[in-house]
Chain A
């Protein structure tokens, strides 16, 4: 029954979305299925289908293949719900749900759009929805039945049974799929209106929204990897991680080029190009993750027809949009040239660096795939490639990012700029020097990292004080400006976090018996107890560490080693003590004779990675709400 409702809803949604695309020129508001109604119906049916799948998971309806393969009656309720998107079919359904949700948001809440343009945009959005619904119905239907009905399910991969994983995909998808609405806005503009600053104003809040959620989604995933995989790292340059980073870089560039288009009516073609590129990379990302061409914890599908289908979707959208752009490029009235020393000049500079970084990450990610196809040689590109290129490209970008908001539009004075940078330079050198003094054993690159972080931090703070006339004008402060300030400060804090976490981390791997202790950066970690534990669907061991600093008790940490019998799958639950400035991290491995093997980390500044990301998210949302709800 559930399966029938789910299936029929999907078919209805597909039919309506196709109908809406066909009626692209018919903007008559009176007809029964007018654009607003049609988009609401699409949203309703996809939501209904999504909830029926969720219902099947909650009641453990194992007559549905998808539920049987990914759930188990003993699984905690939270993971029954989140298990809906913990597999290929369900996660594609979530993808489409977000797709129609954005259309619905635009139709209901964006009062700034005129009717013809809105209709066109929604029609293109419906085309995307239709194609993805077709993909689900033809290759990845979550409602396929099995008989005889099995007694119990195969359970969800235990690594995915975690709160971090519950929230990571929905947030990521809001960001990822949000870029589709930018794409629809852009395509529609070729047929209605022109690419001017009014258009930039229209799309800006939606770019901000997608960007913010993409930021949040990626950092949630990274946080999960940090505490769940037991390696103590936050980023591995895994192709799947890169798949989410690439659209993020595009969206970041787009966010800033839209600003130039809005204020200066320039960079039109470039902004359109970025809008297309962002959506292309969100599709390419989907292809990389969903086609099974790469294997990782994210890639569930390995059915080749799916890969081919998504590849065709990618090719269709990417080629048709870029052909449209080249054909119509001459109709976009070209902008003024831009002077290098100006706000738009610095934005162009950073835009180019973002795209360059995108290109290097893309090369590193797909090169092994292409090489294997053409030569059969199996290679992988190591993290040093990504670390080195990213540092080389992001370094100059951060240098400019710090003072770019201070510059005037149109033209600024080069020597005037230099004199304003003196204070910042002094302060950030001071901070870098202090860090070097405290942490003299660290590598010299770390000092550069700290310098960049404080350079950006002080630049942003100074600019904030100057603009608000030292907080006197704080009351009538522009919320977008506040948002930008918070987001840029977040990036500064993030860079400090990454520097500390990658370059100053102290790692110890030791076997300990109960009663023994290990010393880690002035902390004494005493292994006092070990006991057996039993959860709802797992068994395992829990160690108890009491942490002392100079004989003063601080905290008890309890790392676990779990074993999930249904999937015969062990997991490591690291215990982390976060002090704001540093993390103490304990991961438990296996028993050796009568002692246990542990991994200990002391990672300075690591919490800042997530603090910084959250700040960037908050900043983005602040600007979004300001633009969306106040009109200006």
Chain B
């Protein structure tokens, strides 16, 4: 092979490789994006049955109810509320009146959470919630 040809093959394979990687990124990324909504937004959206999303807001005071490992509580953005069910252990910093983000699915206007996130700081308010609450005021 002449050096020119070699160089061509080199560039060609590098290009194919690059396209392959970018393609993979885009396809896999497409399926794994989680949108973030507040209760008011999620009620307006027409979500698919199996679309996983993140829901954020404040845990409403006196809304947490337990039954063995099952937990029900309400998330509010001070306008609308959504009831959440979750089975498992709540993070250390989960508290009534504090900011929280849950991941999961909306089924018949009840949010079935697979994960509950409250962050590592007692003053912490997830920035997404802060921004959206500001907008509402």
Residue A385 lies at the interface, judged by CB distance under 8 Å to chain B: yes
* In the bound complex, CA of A295 to CA of B123 (Å): 12
Residues A337 and B17 in contact, CB atoms below 8 Å apart: no
Residue B92 lies at the interface, judged by CB distance under 8 Å to chain A: yes
Closest CB in chain B relative to A156 CB, distance in Å:
12
Residues B119 and A379 in contact, CB atoms below 8 Å apart: no
Measured between beta carbons, the chain B residues less than 8 angstroms from A568 are: 122
Closest residue of chain B to A383 (Cβ to Cβ) is B32
Measured between beta carbons, the chain B residues less than 8 angstroms from A352 are: 17
Residue A392 lies at the interface, judged by CB distance under 8 Å to chain B: yes
* In the bound complex, CA of A274 to CA of B17 (Å): 18
Residue B79 lies at the interface, judged by CB distance under 8 Å to chain A: no
Residue B128 lies at the interface, judged by CB distance under 8 Å to chain A: yes
Closest residue of chain A to B37 (Cβ to Cβ) is A378
* In the bound complex, CA of A511 to CA of B90 (Å): 13
* In the bound complex, CA of A566 to CA of B131 (Å): 28
Residues B36 and A378 in contact, CB atoms below 8 Å apart: yes
* In the bound complex, CA of A587 to CA of B88 (Å): 12
Residue A389 lies at the interface, judged by CB distance under 8 Å to chain B: yes
**Can you list 11 A-B contacts (CB < 8 A)?**
A295-B126, A360-B21, A364-B29, A378-B36, A380-B36, A384-B32, A385-B29, A388-B32, A509-B87, A570-B93, A589-B89
Nearest 3 interchain pairs by C-beta: A385-B32, A378-B36, A297-B120
Measured between beta carbons, the chain A residues less than 8 angstroms from B7 are: 337
Residues A392 and B24 in contact, CB atoms below 8 Å apart: yes
Residue A572 lies at the interface, judged by CB distance under 8 Å to chain B: yes
* In the bound complex, CA of A296 to CA of B22 (Å): 28
Instruction: Tally chain A residues at the interface, Cβ within 8 Å.
Output: 41
* In the bound complex, CA of A522 to CA of B88 (Å): 23
Measured between beta carbons, the chain B residues less than 8 angstroms from A296 are: 119-120
Residues A509 and B92 in contact, CB atoms below 8 Å apart: no
Contact with B along A591-608 (1 / 0, CB 8 A): 010000101000000000
Residues A509 and B93 in contact, CB atoms below 8 Å apart: no
* In the bound complex, CA of A590 to CA of B7 (Å): 65
Measured between beta carbons, the chain A residues less than 8 angstroms from B54 are: 380
Q: List CB contacts (< 8 Å) of B111-137 with chain A.
A: 119-122, 124, 126-128, 131
* In the bound complex, CA of A295 to CA of B34 (Å): 17
Residues A295 and B10 in contact, CB atoms below 8 Å apart: no
Q: List CB contacts (< 8 Å) of A341-394 with chain B.
A: 352, 356, 359-360, 363-364, 367, 377-382, 384-385, 388-389, 392-393
Residue A514 lies at the interface, judged by CB distance under 8 Å to chain B: no
* In the bound complex, CA of A340 to CA of B33 (Å): 37
Contact with A along B8-35 (1 / 0, CB 8 A): 0010000001000110110011011111
Measured between beta carbons, the chain A residues less than 8 angstroms from B28 are: 385, 388-389
Which residue of B17, B25, B66 contacts A389 across the interface (Cβ within 8 Å)?
Answer: B25
Residues A159 and B24 in contact, CB atoms below 8 Å apart: no
* In the bound complex, CA of A356 to CA of B16 (Å): 12
Closest CB in chain A relative to B39 CB, distance in Å:
15
Measured between beta carbons, the chain A residues less than 8 angstroms from B121 are: 157, 297
Residues A569 and B122 in contact, CB atoms below 8 Å apart: yes
Residues B35 and A599 in contact, CB atoms below 8 Å apart: no
